[in-house]
Amino acid sequence: MTPQSLDPHENPWMRGDVCTKGFEKVGFVVSYTSGYLEILWPNGIERVPSDEVDDIRRMAHWDSVPPGGQKTNLETLESLEALEILSNALSNALTDRAFKNEHEKAEVDNLMAIVIIALFMAACRVTPKNGRAKALYPLPLAVNDAVLVCPLVKERAA
C-alpha cells in the first residue's frame, strides 16, 4: 500500500490531521472549510484564513498512529477535546455557582477526586517496550486527604 501524500493539494485536510506552522508549534486540525482551517494549538484554537493556509504543513494524517502511540491522531484530538470540556465543566461548577449546601459541594469535590484519580492512574499506566517497563509519572498526587503514589516499576533486563 502506497502511503498517502501529506500535500493538502493532493489530499484535502481532515479533522485530526497533525500540522505545524513553521515547525515552531504542532497542532491538530479541528475544522476545515474552503474559507479557513481551524487548528488546536497548545495555547488554544486558531482560525487560519484560506490565503494563509499554505504556511501550514501537514505532518501526519488523521488515521495514523504515532510511534509508540495506541490511538490515532483523531482519537487523540477527541480525547483532548473531552478533557477540555470536563475541565471547563468542573471549573464552572466550582467558581461560577454557589452551592446550596455542604452536601452539594461535597458531591462536586468527590466527582473531581474521581476524575483526578482516573487521569492519574491513566498517566501511571505501565508501558512495556522492548522487554522493559517503567511508570510514566512516578510522582505522588494528593487528592483531598488521600495521597496516591504511582507505582514505580524497576526496569528489568531484556
Q: What is the pLDDT along the chain (158 residues), one digit of tens a residue?
A: 568 889 988 999 999 999 999 888 899 999 999 999 999 998 889 999 999 999 999 999 999 988 777 888 898 888 888 878 777 777 766 665 666 777 877 777 777 777 766 665 555 544 444 333 344 434 444 444 444 444 443 333 33
2 belongs to a structural domain: no
Residue 66 domain flag: yes
Q: What is the pLDDT of residue 15?
A: 95
Instruction: Give the C-alpha separation, 118 to 42, whole Å.
Output: 23
Q: How much is the pLDDT for 105?
A: 75
Structural domains counted in the chain: 2
Q: Please report, for residues 44, 47, 81, 153, the alpha-carbon distance to residue 14 in angstroms, rounded to integers and kept in the order given.
A: 19, 15, 16, 39
| Residue 91: partners with Cβ closer than 8 Å, 6 or more residues away | none
Whether 53 and 102 share a structural domain: no
Domain housing 43: 14-77
- 5: in domain: no
Task: Indicate whether this model's pTM tops 0.85.
Answer: no
Domain annotation covers residue 123: yes
For 6-30, write each residue's pLDDT tens digit: 998 899 999 999 999 988 889 999 9
For residue 142, what pLDDT is reported? 45
Q: Tell me whether residue 37 is in a domain.
A: yes
28 phi and psi angles, rounded to 5 deg: -115, 140
